[in-house]
Structure 1
Amino acid sequence: MEVLFIFLLALIIDLVFGDPPNAFHPVAYMGRVIAIFERAGFKGGRVYQFVYGIVMVFIAMALFFIPVYFLLDWLHGVNSVVYIIVSAVLLKMCFTVTGLRKAALLIKQLLEKDDIAQARFELRSLVSRDTSKLPQPKLVAAAVESVAESIGDGFVAPLFFFLIFGVPGVMAYRVVSTFDSMVGYRGKYEYLGKFAARFDDVLNFIPSRLSALCILIASFFGRYSPAGAWRIMWRDHAKTQSPNAGWPMATAAGALEVCLEKVGHYSYPLYDQRLRFGRAEAWLWHGFGGDNNQP
């Protein structure tokens, strides 16, 4: 029952208060720790960078896992109510529903006002690609893709690891996820961030597929296409470079019956190969609490 109370309270905190400022957010501190580790990451060649990348991931995980583990273990023996409250607060810090919703709805509102320039700017909070030249349909596509993928690593994965390893396990997962977002890229971080990127892929293997299942189930309750979600999920999930990202994105594309495309990387072609802007845009507010009567 404690697990259920912790999760429900964490969800209530998220819905009522949203995300805390960076000054109080553990993920921001994770980013600072990673930045400190990164300074010494390029003092040697490829082998040094790869080994250093492994070491810094596990040390950073320990820095957040161990204190949280012993704190909650102590609180559990002192007062169960305080234990549940603190656990819920820490769990909420590791996932976001409200923040993702606000970011998506902001893009929708800017597009409604035809403020393409500002929409491109705000979209940077959701995607890592260059948004400066994206036309309106691809702005919607990028937002939909990011929301679909973030359902996995932003909510399903934290809940998955919470159920298995408790709050300390979620903290460890967030460390790896933050590493991947900061150094899990080719080019400069090819060797330094390789382990973090691969480790993140392993950790998200099951959650990404569970998130696709969640989108599929949600399509039954919305005005979308469960058959399309199922068909495109299986047909197109392998089109992304990531072994995980394609599952929720392909499922969302099939449910919405749209074409989601990142030029030069992947596309989920449906029907006439064009993004049906109205339907995808509608999902941004229908799926995140907006006006269901919009076209």
Structure 2
Amino acid sequence: MSTAVLLPLAMVVALLIDRLGEPPTWAHPVVGMGRYLGWFRLTKLPPAAAFIAGALAWLVGATLVAFVSLWASGWVLLKLQPAAAPWRLVATAAALGLLLKPLLAWRMLADEAMAVEAALRESLDAGRARLSRIVSRDTTKLTETEVREAAIETLAENLNDSVIAPLFWFAIAGLPGAAVYRFANTADAMWGYRDEREWSGKWAARADDMLSWLPARLTALVLLPPSLPALVREARRTPSPNSGWPMAAMALRLGLRLGKPGVYVLHADGRSVAPDDLHAARAVAWHAVVIGAALVATLAWTLRS
């Protein structure tokens, strides 16, 4: 029983610690993953060589991440021995939650989305500049409505990448599962583009697609869209096999028209985004965090009971 409740308790601890914000840069594992990935400059290689080199760099990095996280969680379990006494169970869950916290980032995600709205109230240029911190698209020509649309889409998409998916893989494979997922997601964010990085980042993009497939659909469901057939239809409008699901769910839940100019439109019959909709999207996303965490905690308990 102690093993069954250990991971759910650790999830609760991680979400509580998340309210305090992010650890310093020097101690942040995701920052370390980004630095490792930034060492590689593979775009000058021929396509086949770039693909092989990118795959090998990804595999080495994922192995290192898995090993370090396995060692850290194993050390905690060995030192505290959660089955020995109730207080040890609580202490072990607290330690695991502390290790899990940097691999998820609800508060930072919500704060960044709200910062876009605050910047828009100053000026359109300020809103565009703030949005550019959290999206890869060119923001310099976006209208005020398009800036809000992009912020809501990013909030929905990263609800999966930064919260639900790390918790899901923690439930499945413990701390190594969450850590390898965040490595895969970070690699895709840095390498997975259809430009000069395409071949070197192709492995990273496909790995992230595979690891995000189930969590993205779970994220869409916990956003409580009003119609499952409509969710399936709208989610398929985006080029990504996964990101369209939470974005479509958010669009349907709030009755909004969301889109990326020249690429896709979600819920075309919805109303235009208004100034208060970012706040509404944040509230919906928080409810999804609570529901999603409860579901994956139940999954973790079931797998180990």
* TM-score interval, normalised by the smaller of the two chains: 0.7 to 0.9
- Other-structure match for 1:97: 106
Segments of 5+ residues of structure 1 without an aligned counterpart are 217-225, 290-295
Matches within 5 A, 1:39-188: 39=41, 41-42=42-43, 44-79=45-80, 80=82, 81=88, 83-111=92-120, 113-188=121-196
Q: Distance in 2 between matches of 1:76 and 1:24?
A: 21
Identity of aligned residues (%): 33
Q: Aligned-pair distance for 1:50?
A: 0.6
- Other-structure match for 2:292: none
- Other-structure match for 1:275: 272
- Other-structure match for 2:213: 205
Q: Distance in 2 between matches of 1:102 and 1:83?
A: 30
TM-aligned CA distance change 1:286 to 1:62, over 3 Å: closer
SS of residue matched to 2:265? strand
Q: Aligned-pair distance for 1:110?
A: 2.3
- Other-structure match for 1:254: 252
Q: Distance in 2 between matches of 1:231 and 1:136?
A: 31
Q: Aligned-pair distance for 1:43?
A: 5.8
- Other-structure match for 2:198: 190
Amino acid in the other structure paired with 1:68? S
Q: Distance in 1 between matches of 2:16 and 2:229?
A: 35
Q: Distance in 2 between matches of 1:285 and 1:191?
A: 36
Q: Distance in 1 between matches of 2:171 and 2:277?
A: 32
Amino acid in the other structure paired with 1:128? S
Q: Distance in 2 between matches of 1:139 and 1:19?
A: 25
TM-aligned CA distance change 1:280 to 1:51, over 3 Å: same
Q: Distance in 1 between matches of 2:125 and 2:199?
A: 35
Q: Aligned-pair distance for 1:119?
A: 1.2
CA RMSD of aligned residues (A): 1.8
The answer (yes or no) to whether the contact 1:104–1:284 under 8 Å persists in 2 is no
Q: Aligned-pair distance for 1:284?
A: 4.0
Q: Distance in 2 between matches of 1:110 and 1:44?
A: 41
SS of residue matched to 1:267? strand
TM-aligned CA distance change 1:256 to 1:55, over 3 Å: same
Q: Distance in 2 between matches of 1:98 and 1:282?
A: 14
Q: 1:240 and 2:249 equivalent?
A: no
